Structure 1
């Protein structure tokens, strides 16, 4: 991808919104085989209710459509309708495994949190002779974050709007991090609007990479999407939930200009040069796209894209930053974001 957002890549290993996401470089090594459902928790009882797994057929309660809404890391998502209320929902189908049960457990644990897609119910059914977990979720009919911005046409996207969006994303991450959960796949494709209305709500979804993390239980498996991966994950080091903050910085950068801070020019999903720039934190704020963006926004991005996780801004610091918690005083400066994203619409679809 060139600085102005022009990309020529046809990644073969890069994760996509259609489920072609890569846990690249090394296989899963974390000890998932001991995972139970619900997962044992030696700490005090959680505040959320225990998840009820229904054994009756999901088709008893829902009319399942063949319409595919998307593919997550671990399974596809179909459109379905509640037979009693006619409510449109999303049905995610996961083949039963310790990893799938971990995804369900962690998503359920945070499901009632702000700006997080809600789980409505869970079923355990047989499908093609295999045991499956069927997750019924609220249907996010407003589409992906960047697609929404692309659809604005001539209506300018402003820095103030960027601040409001980043505050919403930060609110979801704050809820996860306060529960010692790292999402590990924070990216625009996992940020969906619940409706097409002007007062729609942006929510975080897809917990296929999510994992509990504490000081004594750091993360090790290099799960990532290339554009948004933190340097410590690339370097195969032990890492923690601060990897989400790096991803937050990349999203904020793209949101304010329309192209990513790190990219590959070689046609690969992630090239040696791109890895080097990520590890060294080499990026710029080039004109004309960044000419009118406030210094406060640029400084905030710099704090999020610190290569040393210990120096990187925490979610608490992020949420307390004036650019985030005082959105109304952020200048409503028109940005180049809509133009750049629209010009590169097909190319963005390729690199999801």
Structure 2
């Protein structure tokens, strides 16, 4: 039986419909809030015009959702009894946890992410979405429609967590491990799906790899300005390790095995991430993912993913040059060993190094160097002894602090600049704006410091309270 269309503030008992969150392949998703408890849930309502085949998919999505329990897969909830009457054509409703931080597409669309997400955000995505995909595959489920719009964000105890949603196109492998029909989002689909060939879990590897690349660089890897029907014919003969294809000024397709600059990734993580993408973006579905590890029976791509996530990387800002240096730490590596690496790269002798945490507190030489690594990545600050400055930056130092000449040199070492022109207009503007903003604030802060002519930073008259005050100000830059 048909129902009247939804209206803002429609009430179902104690539940008030607040807004429409979005539209999926099979229906609309609405936000409902309980007026008594303030609980919020997302309710997916099937569209009237679904044919019999899609109605079956709708029912299958609900069945799949109800049996899944994982932090990185959105959780199904019981449909409140007061809402039962709004179901259309006797098709059940799907109630889910409400994720209030939007989706990955919204995050990627922010101007500051035009060159990709911050390194810490990329690592969080790898951890969360990778864990969710492995869970689905362990439960014999292929998602088949992974894309930024189907990754939602939720704040859990102050930490942003990624969750996979929209299993309407998911395939339960208990119904047969090889599938031959699909209608979904084309830009993230594996090549074999366009050709109507049989496929397995490796289609999710391709979609995940495409998302990883986009999160690292800000655009999709293969001729992203073309429709899939156009780019698949041009990319079909790419090399097994190629992870990107762009058209040069003459319209010729050029391939690369590397991630392009500019991006926000440290050199320490670039090579392993490129290796991961080379496994996930193989054209041959049989080779994609690297096969299974003979000992652990885990796909090689996820074994490499675990290695990346277990890496302890420290970013060190040289406060005299504003350059960021990144180092990979072993689990028990001492601070002395880290300082030797710093000396080799910066020519600042070990005895002249001062390593400060974001709070201004010096590192404890008795503890391992990993004392400064939280959630895998953190910045510390390097000053030469006797020239301690109050300049600091909370979180990761943006790559825009390097001069554009340095960025340009990095680009030319990775990929001809002409191949990146279509992607860099907005990127260059953003980098220049960030440079100008930082330098103006840095100048203001240094002027404030030097105005205290009667005080010496290293002298006895220097107030530690005043130093901490300046550190606090610099952390807001």
Q: 1:104 aligns with which of 45, 62, 65?
A: 62
Of structures 1 and 2, the larger Rg is shown by 2
Alignment-derived partner of residue 13 in structure 1: none
- Distance (whole Å) between structure 1 residues aligned to residue 191 and residue 180 of structure 2: 13
- Go from structure 1 to structure 2 and tell me whether the alpha carbon gap of 1:179 and 1:286 turns closer, same or farther (over 3 Å shift): closer
1:324 aligns with 2:308: yes
1:134 corresponds, among 84, 93, 107, to 93
* 2:274 counterpart SS class: helix
CA shift, 1:262, in A, is: 1.8
Query: In the alignment, what sits opposite 2:138?
Result: 178
**Gaps in structure 1 of 5+ consecutive residues:** 1-57, 345-352
CA distance in 2, matches of 1:307, 1:215: 26
1:189 partnered with 2:189: no
Would you say the 8 A contact 1:117–1:204 is kept in 2?
Answer: yes
Tell me if the contact between 1:187 and 1:251 (Cα under 8 Å) persists in the aligned partners: yes
CA distance in 2, matches of 1:323, 1:77: 37
In 1, Cα distance between equivalents of 2:223 and 2:27: 28
- Per-residue deviation, 1:307: 1.4
Matched, 1:120 2:77: yes
Contact 1:243 / 1:309 at 8 angstroms: preserved in 2?
yes
C-alpha distance in structure 2 between counterparts of 1:77 and 1:168, whole Å: 23
Which whole-Å CA distance do the structure 1 matches of 2:287 and 2:111 have between them?
37
Using the TM superposition, give the Cα deviation of residue 137 of structure 1 relative to its aligned residue in structure 2, in angstroms: 1.1
CA contact 1:114–1:175 (8 Å) conserved in 2: no
1:73 shift after superposition: 1.4
Return the alpha-carbon distance in structure 2 between the equivalents of residues 182 and 319 of structure 1.
Answer: 16
* Counterpart-to-counterpart distance in 2, 1:228 and 1:341: 22
1:64-79 equivalent positions in 2, closer than 5 A? 64-65=17-18, 67-79=19-31
Contact 1:159 1:335 in 2 (8 A): no
Alignment of 1:297-336 (within 5 A): 297-313=273-289, 316-321=299-304, 322-329=306-313, 334=398
Does the aligned pair in 1 maintain the 2:217–2:260 contact within 8 Å? no
Per-residue CA distance 1:83-132 (angstroms, 9 max, x = gap): 4422121111025822210011112222x112111111137845486223
More helix by share: 2
C-alpha change, 1:196 and 1:176, in structure 2 (3 Å) is closer
Shift, 1:224, TM fit: 3.2
- The answer on whether the counterparts of 2:182 and 2:193 sit within 8 Å (CA) in structure 1 is yes
- Deviation of 1:233 after TM superposition, in Å, equals 0.9
Greater alpha carbon shift after TM alignment, 122-131 vs 231-240 = 122-131
The change in CA–CA distance for 1:61 and 1:81 in structure 2 (over 3 A counts) is: same
Q: Which has the higher contact order (CA 8 A, sep 6+)?
A: 1
> Are residues 231 and 279 of structure 1, via their aligned partners in 2, closer, same or farther at CA, if it must alter by over 3 Å?
farther
1:288 maps to 261
